[in-house]
Amino acid sequence: MPENMNMEIPADVLESARMTVQDAKFELAIALFSRGRLSMGKSAELGEMSVGRFQLQLGARQIGPHYSVEDALEDSAALAAFRGS
C-alpha cells in the first residue's frame, strides 16, 4: 500500500472558496491532469472517483485527453500489425 502524505489547508481558505476537502482534491486532480503532470488514472485516484466519472468531469469542463502525435503513431502501427496478423 502506498504511503500517504498530508497537506494542510487552512479551514478559512476552504470556507472562502466554498469548498470541501473533497472538492479541493478534485480541483487539484483536474489541474494536474490538464497540465500533463498526472495521468488520467492517477488524477482519478487523487479525485477519489472512477476513471469513467473523471472522464465525464473532464468532458463537462471541455478538457480533452492527452493524446500526442507519438501516441497516434503508436496506435496506428499497432492497428496495422493487428490487421496484418
Q: Which residues of 38-60 are buried (b: 16+ CB within 10 A; e: fewer)?
A: beeeebbbbbebeeeebbebbee
Query: Where are the chain's structural domains?
Result: 11-84
Q: What is the 3-state secondary structure (H, E, C) of the chain?
A: CCCCCCCCCCHHHHHHHCCCHHHHHHHHHHHHHHCCCCCHHHHHHHCCCCHHHHHHHHHHCCCCCCCCHHHHHHHHHHHHHHHHC
pTM of the entire structure?
0.74
pLDDT (tens digit per residue) in 26-64: 999 999 999 989 888 899 999 999 989 999 999 999 998
